[in-house]
Amino acid sequence: MESRSAAGAESRFSVRRIRTLLTVIVAVAATAVLTAAPARAETGFHEVPAFGSNPGNLRMFAYVPEQAQSGAPVVVLFHGCGGSAKDLDIDTGWRKYADTYGFTLVLPEQKDENVGSGGIVPHRCFSAWNPADRTHDGEGEARSVVQMVDHMKARYSADADRVYAAGYSGGGAATNVMLAAHPEVFEAGAVFFGMAYGCADTETDYFRTGSLAPCPGRYNLVSPTEWGDRIRSAHPGYTGARPRVQIWHGGSDLLINKKSLEKQRDGWTDVFGVPQTPTSSSSPASDVTKQVYGSGQVETYLIDAMGHEAPVDPGTGIDRCGTVGRGHDSLCGPYYASRFFGLGG
């Protein structure tokens, strides 16, 4: 009888030991799952549904090359009015250089509900007229874009010292906004057939573009100092380094007059404190005039035969890019912009 009791006690002890061992195994496994390395950050073209409080109510897309390394630079690429993020980097040629030089792309996209009628052109423009959207302290679209950059820093360990902006048409105006409102974020920018910062102060004036005047808003800004003051007003009191600016325009642009290039040049050269007279002038291709101001803080490209379209040069060479029929075949804008940014050597 006593022997059977001892055997039963031993059996119950063994069951308890097995249960305890199983509990430990489950706990260890759960801890391993919780402490495992996070999933690999997404590559390729994709939408980022959550990147911050997003006060400007924009969509965020990104393109991350498979070979992109930790600490890669970031180029923020803005579509034009009526455009979208999808295929913008392919049609213009930016994806080729993201793949070749190993930088990542952030592509903000405007939402239909954020905009009004748009007048004579398709709307879905980034707001370059509303103070909340275009100033450093504003809680609008510019702040959303900065949050997108912050997301890339956190998710991909992007290099905070190598962040750039580029955009086309209304996206060019948005590029000027980011460079003026957040100079502490951006190292340089490229504006393709855009408008000067502070060019229009209402949505109605923003769409009064065309061959008569590129900036017909209620401000009659005529001097470089006045254009410079508009840029400085985006971030009052800022005394830090300013992003270098490259400006492109078509001499045959019927939507935004080529004088817009001059107004942008005047404002940025004034901000940098360099003369409006170029220090060098060259012709990198037929009907193309490149001018450099100061020690390279500002440079401009005027392409005589180009209308309101992206400068591309489809082909396989390193300095050729873009999709056939999606722009003016002349120079590959993203190649020269990437070199201006200091990407690719």
Contacts of 59 (CB under 8 A, 6+ apart): 47, 85, 108, 109, 110, 111
Cβ distance 142 to 133 under 8 Å? yes
- Give the three-class secondary structure for 221: coil
Quote the CA–CA distance of 338 and 345 in Å, as a whole number.
Answer: 9
Question: What would the two tokens of residue 319 be?
Answer: 């300095």
Q: Residues with Cβ < 8 Å from 302, sequence gap 6 or more?
A: 249, 250, 251, 258, 261, 288, 289, 291
- In the numeric block, the tokens 């109510």 are attached to 57
Residue 169 catalytic? Answer: yes
Question: Do 264 and 245 contact (CB within 8 A), yes or no?
Answer: yes
169, 260, 330, 338: the active-site residue: 169
Angle at 61 (CA atoms; ends 59, 62), nearest 5 degrees: 155
CB 201 within 8 A of CB 220: no
Opening angle at CA 52, ends 159 and 68, nearest 5:
30
Give the catalytic positions in this structure. 169
